[in-house]
Amino acid sequence: MTSKDDVTFSFIDLFAGIGGFKLALEKNGGKSLGFSEINKDAIHAYCDNFNETPSHNFGDITKIKNLPTHDVLTAGVPCQSWSIAGKNLGFDDDRGQLWNDTIYLLQHSKPKAFIFENVKGLVDPRNQMALAYILNRIKEAGYHAHYYTINAHDYGVPQSRVRVYIVGFKDKNFYHRFKLPPYPAQKTKLADILNIESLSLTASNDDFQKDLFGDVIPEKSMSLSSNNGVNDYFLFNDLRNGHTTIHSWDIINTTERQKHICYLLLKNRRKSAYGKLDGNPLSLKHFQSLDSSITQAELNILIQLDILKTEEYLFAIKQYQGVDLSENEQLLLDVAHTGALIIDDLKVNRVLKIKKVPIVKTVDTLKDKGVIQCIELRYEFKNTKISTGLFGVNRIFLPSSDIFPTLVASDTNDYIALKGVLPTNNNEYKQKFIEDIYATGLYRKVTKNEACLIQGFPEDFNLPQARARWMKLLGNSVAVPIIDIICKAMIDTGVFNKEISEHKKPEILSHHRSVAQVGIRCV
Catalytic residues: 79
The burial class, CB within 10 Å (0-12 / 13-18 / 19+), for 377 is middle
Comparing C-alpha atoms, which of 26, 35, 84, 79 is closest to residue 56? 35
Of 167, 183, 23, the C-alpha closest to 495 is 167
Rg (CA), the chain: 28
Number of helices followed by number of strands (H, E) in the chain: 19, 14
Q: What is the DSSP string of 53-74?
A: -GGGB---GGG----B--SEEE
DSSP 9-61: EEEEEES-TTTHHHHHHHHTTEEEEEEE---HHHHHHHHHHHT--GGGB---G
Q: Which candidate, 98, 38, 35, 13, places its Cα nearest to that of 62?
A: 98
Instruction: Give, in degrees to the nearest 5, the angle at Cα 470 between 469 and 472.
Output: 70
The closest of 98, 169, 109, 170 to 134, measured between CA atoms, is: 98
SS3 state at 310 = strand
How far, in Å, CA of 210 to CA of 341, rounded?
A: 49
Q: Is 68 buried (19+), middle (13-18) or exposed (0-12) by CB count in 10 A?
A: middle
Measured between alpha carbons, how far is 261 from 266 in angstroms, rounded to an integer?
A: 9
Gap between the Cα atoms of 372 and 91, Å rounded: 43
